[in-house]
A = this chain, B = another copy of it.
Amino acid sequence: MKTKTLKNVRPMGAAATDLHIVDGRFTASAGADAEVIDCGGRILIPGLVEAHTHLDKSLLGLPWYRNEVGPRLIDKINNEREVKVSLGLDPQVQSERHAILAMSHGCTHIRSHVDVDTHHGLAGIEGVMATREKLKGMIDIEIVAFPQSGMMTRPGTAELMGEALAMGAELVGGIDPCGMEHDPKGHLDTIFALAEKHGKPIDIHLHERDSLGWFSMEEIIARTEALGMQGKVAISHAFCLGAVDRAYVAGLHEKLAENRIHILTTAPASAPVPAVKELNAMGILVGAGCDGIRDTWGPYGNSDMLERAMFVGMRNNFRRDDEVELALEVCTYGGAAIMEAEGYGLDIGCNADCVLVEGETLAEAVATHAPRKLVLKGGEVTARDGKCVVEAP
């Protein structure tokens, strides 16, 4: 029986105390022979949750990719599908590199969209599943079967989606039903049918802005309601909720709340974004993610969800400490609730998935996002001083 005592630790910035871990869970006590870890008065937060990324497509560890891609969404999608071949991208290796980088920053849970298309078939799903198996116990990875290149516009993809779900992908993905698919009814009927057939939830990318996005979102809401899928649908990006017409958006917030539809944001600086504080006030669950990192879409990103909490704060103009704490909540409890992560948190009985951060307060930890002193997953050390205990391939 592995027992540990985290000595002199401040859970979520509260007064210093000792926490105990037995068999991977927080317990009220841990006996005298427990391994004692002196936390030096540092703040402890639960494991960071990367709730929207793309593990199969980063270029980590490869020579620099000079980006000369066109400005449209479809330029990026078409370029990537081709370039994956010429670069010889291995989804298993790339996802392992990416996941280990996330772990080094204190991430304990990842929801990854993984491309499914007729060009690459299920190679992405297989690769990320292999990584998930390899890193089992060190990080929880949830897979969304994601028709990045279109499903209605690319016959054969829906069947591959079905195979991916049968193989073990946990969620049905989707993408801009109008802007990408040119057939909102066809696309949404297909993904909701897949969800029903496989008994799996949905997480759909929605980049469509303003009224086009509102239309697609209302179609998603209508199907969620009709099929009784309340609590089982998430919308990623949801740029249309960042629209200027706040009265219209408020109406959408109400319908989202009624149907317990979750929102995942990556808080991009260059696109309209869902207003985290408004969603939170409506009781809508909000999680966050880094989106793709260092890939053919763009050069940025490092898979650090504490830095992402800063981005969520900066994008939402959060300056007060209570606001910055909300940004951090989105990157921890919010994403965990959306992923329905069992036993998440710092309470007695919860999994000992946790991160020692630097800073006097939670807001300082977010603003500085200094390398994490220690990361535990199920009570075992997965990273120390910003370095993961396992080497990336």
- Complex formed: what's the CA distance from A294 to B271 in Å? 25
The contact of A64 among B66, B302, B311, B363, by CB within 8 Å, is: B363
Q: Which residues of chain B are near A314, meaning CB under 8 Å?
A: 268-270, 300
Q: Smallest Cβ distance from A386 to chain B, in angstroms?
A: 12
Q: Smallest Cβ distance from A209 to chain B, in angstroms?
A: 12
Question: Which residues in chain A, 49-99, are within 8 Å of chain B measured between CB atoms?
Answer: 63-64, 66-69
- Smallest CB-CB separation from A366: which chain B residue? B299
> Does A320 lie at the interface of the complex (its beta carbon under 8 Å from any beta carbon of B)?
yes
Q: Smallest Cβ distance from A215 to chain B, in angstroms?
A: 21
Q: Which residues of chain B are near A69, meaning CB under 8 Å?
A: 319-320
> Does A364 lie at the interface of the complex (its beta carbon under 8 Å from any beta carbon of B)?
yes
Q: Smallest Cβ distance from A295 to chain B, in angstroms?
A: 10
Q: Are A363 and B319 interface neighbours, CB within 8 A?
A: no
- Complex formed: what's the CA distance from A317 to B300 in Å? 11
> Does A190 lie at the interface of the complex (its beta carbon under 8 Å from any beta carbon of B)?
no
> Does A278 lie at the interface of the complex (its beta carbon under 8 Å from any beta carbon of B)?
no
- Complex formed: what's the CA distance from A321 to B65 in Å? 9
Q: Are B363 and A299 interface neighbours, CB within 8 A?
A: yes
Question: Which residues in chain A, 225-266, are within 8 Å of chain B measured between CB atoms?
Answer: none
Say what secondary structure dominates the interface of chain A.
loop
- With A63-B360, A66-B321, A320-B68 known as contacts, the answer to whether A367 contacts B313 (CB < 8 A) is no
- With A299-B321, A302-B368, A321-B299 known as contacts, the answer to whether A363 contacts B316 (CB < 8 A) is no
> Does A361 lie at the interface of the complex (its beta carbon under 8 Å from any beta carbon of B)?
yes
- Smallest CB-CB separation from A244: which chain B residue? B244
Q: Smallest Cβ distance from A331 to chain B, in angstroms?
A: 15
> Does A310 lie at the interface of the complex (its beta carbon under 8 Å from any beta carbon of B)?
yes
Question: Which residues in chain A, 295-317, are within 8 Å of chain B measured between CB atoms?
Answer: 297-302, 310-311, 313-317
- With A299-B364, A366-B299 known as contacts, the answer to whether A68 contacts B269 (CB < 8 A) is no
Interface centre among A68, A270, A299, A364 (most CB of B within 10 A): A299
Q: Smallest Cβ distance from A302 to chain B, in angstroms?
A: 7
Q: A145-162 interface mask toward B, CB cutoff 8 Å, 1 = contact, 0 = none? A: 000000000000000000
Q: Which residues of chain B are near A324, meaning CB under 8 Å?
A: 299
Question: Which residues in chain A, 95-149, are within 8 Å of chain B measured between CB atoms?
Answer: none
Q: Smallest Cβ distance from A240 to chain B, in angstroms?
A: 16
The contact of A321 among B68, B267, B269, B321, by CB within 8 Å, is: B68
Q: Are A320 and B360 interface neighbours, CB within 8 A?
A: no
Q: Are A269 and B368 interface neighbours, CB within 8 A?
A: no
Question: Which residues in chain A, 310-363, are within 8 Å of chain B measured between CB atoms?
Answer: 310-311, 313-317, 319-322, 324, 359-361, 363
Would you mind naming 17 contact pairs between A and B with Cβ atoms under 8 Å apart? A64-B360, A64-B364, A66-B361, A67-B319, A67-B363, A69-B319, A69-B320, A269-B269, A270-B316, A270-B317, A299-B319, A299-B321, A299-B324, A299-B366, A300-B310, A300-B314, A301-B367
14 further A-B contacts with Cβ under 8 Å, apart from A269-B315, A270-B316, are A64-B359, A64-B360, A64-B364, A66-B361, A67-B321, A69-B319, A69-B320, A269-B311, A271-B317, A297-B319, A299-B319, A299-B321, A299-B363, A299-B367
| Interface residue ranges, A against B (CB under 8 Å) | 63-64, 66-69, 267-271, 294, 297-302, 310-311, 313-317, 319-322, 324, 359-361, 363-364, 366-368
